[in-house]
Amino acid sequence: MPQYDAAFQGSRGAFSEVASWELLGTNAQLLPCPRLEEVFEAVLSRTALYGVVPVENTLAGSVLLGVDLLIQHNLHVIGETVCRIEHALIGAPGVHLKDVRQVMSHPVALAQCELFFQSHPEIQAVPEYDTAGAVEKVIKENRKDCAAIAGSRVAEIFGGVVLEDKIQDHAENYTRFLLVSPEKREVDDSVRNKTTLVVKLANNPGSLFHSLRPFAERGIDLTKIESRPIKGSPFEYLFYVDLVSEPGRHSVVAEALGELKKISASVRLLGSYPMRPTKA
């Protein structure tokens, strides 16, 4: 039996932990994992029932490692949530902003705070595996010339101090997380659903155009299409696709997918799940 309800990447206080609670409730037993690969390993080994995977941020774009791991592993997407991201600069007690020469965080978080680094050219951005983990490291090592970027609640968890709050480039900063499972889940056709799939196009002229036609003809909204390299096949690509079906129209999506399969080299359905609106 699984020991945890879900695995997420990061330390306590990470935005992935917040996303896990939003998806499963605040009573969920969660397994923090240092690396995103370990989230998938925990689900595949049944150490955790589910995995929570970041795939997209409104400022930094796709979380490519999350997308690639979804493509590589045989798991099903059964849910999503969208979390508002507000970053704070956090240091050890007694540290002041004027003393900071390095700031550590996850590369995506660093990319979301470019204006802060532009206004503080004396500060070097240092990538770390996790936002909350970076805060934990700074405080445990009592670094006097270093701070970290994470959510402000992480300062409370690890006993740090907020040196500057809300340093993200834009107020409208959101990250989308997917809930993955070894088991499929039935589609609720009474709600607006999102479907995620991976397509390998046929090696024919106009194949991308023809692969989009089944959706265009049925008025199906494609919200994302992104090419990802096929490992071991140089200069060959898969397309990672998100599309939306309105209530009562999932059968229309199934028709479009059936047509797509006839004209593509391969189509893999990662999952259909209720679409979650972006929170204000």
> Which tens digit of pLDDT belongs to each residue from 102-132?
999 999 899 999 999 999 999 999 999 889 9
User: What is the model's pLDDT at position 160?
Assistant: 96
Tokens of 237: 């690509």
Angle, alpha carbons 174-180-186 (nearest 5°) = 110
From the centroid of its chain, how far is CA 269? Answer: 18
Residues 6+ apart with CB under 8 A from 153: 13
Cα end-to-end span (Å), the chain: 38
Residue 278 has pLDDT above 70, yes or no: no
CA–CA dist 155, 161 (Å, integer): 6
Q: How many CA atoms lie within 13 A of 72 on its CB side?
A: 16
Domains in the chain, CATH or no CATH each: 4-85+173-181 (3.40.190.10), 88-164 (3.40.190.10), 193-274 (3.30.70.260)
Residue 21 has pLDDT above 70, yes or no: yes
CA–CA dist 75, 79 (Å, integer): 12
| DSSP SS3 for 211 | helix
- Are 158 and 96 in contact by the 8 Å Cβ rule? The answer is no
Q: Is 177 a catalytic residue?
A: yes
User: What is the model's pLDDT at position 279?
Assistant: 59
CA–CA dist 94, 146 (Å, integer): 12
151-166 pLDDT, tens digit per residue, is 999 999 999 999 999 9
Nearest Cα residue to 142 out of 95, 79, 177, 178: 95
Marked catalytic residue, from 40, 116, 158, 177 = 177
Marked catalytic residue, from 175, 196, 215, 239 = 175
- The model's pTM is 0.89
| DSSP SS3 for 52 | strand
Query: Across 60-173, where does the E strand assignment appear?
Result: 61-62, 76-84, 88-91, 102-105, 124-127, 146-150, 161-164
| DSSP SS3 for 220 | coil
Q: Is 116 a catalytic residue?
A: no
Tokens of 89: 């600069």
